[in-house]
Amino acid sequence: MSGTWAFEGRDAALAAFDRSADGTELAEPVREGGPRTEVMRSTEDPVVAELSFGFEDVRIELRLHARERVRTVSGTVHGDFAYALLEARRPDGHREDVVSIEETGDFVIPDLRRGPLCLTLRRDDAPPITTEWFIL
């Protein structure tokens, strides 16, 4: 296999190496598909994908919204916790945003740019859980 494109993306691939999170619990994808629900309000950005991640009794359901170049992640965290934060991270380690989870488990992370993203759920009395990387 050869070609000038064969090693495209090499810098990004090399930069992915990071062993600092090996001890973190990983929430793996359970489902991904198109939007199952109708958009009821025109003010809401269209949902382009729904996916969910699971680890033991915790399930993180995400809806990915897109409007032009702006992305929004909304969703619900199901699990047993009193208080939790959700942290959005980029491949370069940049922490894009931190939002608190409402009592209902709902959350919204607005105004994101496209590209790979992962979420880390930090609960009050349990180790953090990180989702597998997904493309926004």
Partner 1 sequence: MGAGLPDQSHEDSETVLSTGPRHETPGSLATTGRGADDAELVRRALLGEYPAWRDIVDRHLPMVNAIARSYRLSTPDREDVVQTVWLTLNQHLPRLREPRHLKAWLSRVTRDKCLRQRERDARQYPTDPEAFAHIGGAAPDPETEYLRKERDATLRRAVDGLRDPDERRAALRYLEPESVPRAEDPRVASNHRRRMVRRLRDSLEDV
Is 48 one of the binding residues for partner 1 (CB under 8 A)?
A: yes
Q: Does 2 bind partner 1 (CB under 8 A)?
A: yes
Instruction: Please tell me what DSSP assigns to residue 37.
Output: S
Could you tell me which stretch among 4-12, 53-61, 75-83, 98-106 binds partner 1 (CB under 8 A)? 4-12
Give the whole-angstrom CA distance, residue 121 versus residue 78.
Answer: 11
Of 18, 8, 14, 13, the residue nearest 89 (C-alpha): 18
Nearer to partner 1, 14 or 82 (CB): 14
Segments of the chain assigned E as strands = 25-33, 47-55, 58-67, 70-78, 84-89, 95-100, 106-112, 116-123, 129-131, 134-135
Q: Rounded to 5 degrees, what angle do the CA atoms 122, 124, 127 make?
A: 55
x/- mask, partner 1, residues 109-128, rule CB under 8 A, reads -----xxx-x----------
Q: Does 96 bind partner 1 (CB under 8 A)?
A: no
**Residue 52-81 contact track with partner 1, rule CB under 8 A, x = bound:** ------------x-x---------------
13 interacts with partner 1 by CB under 8 A: yes
SS3 12: helix
| Site residues (vs partner 1, CB under 8 A) | 1-3, 5-22, 26, 32, 34-35, 46, 48-49, 64, 66, 89, 91-94, 114-116, 118, 130, 132-135
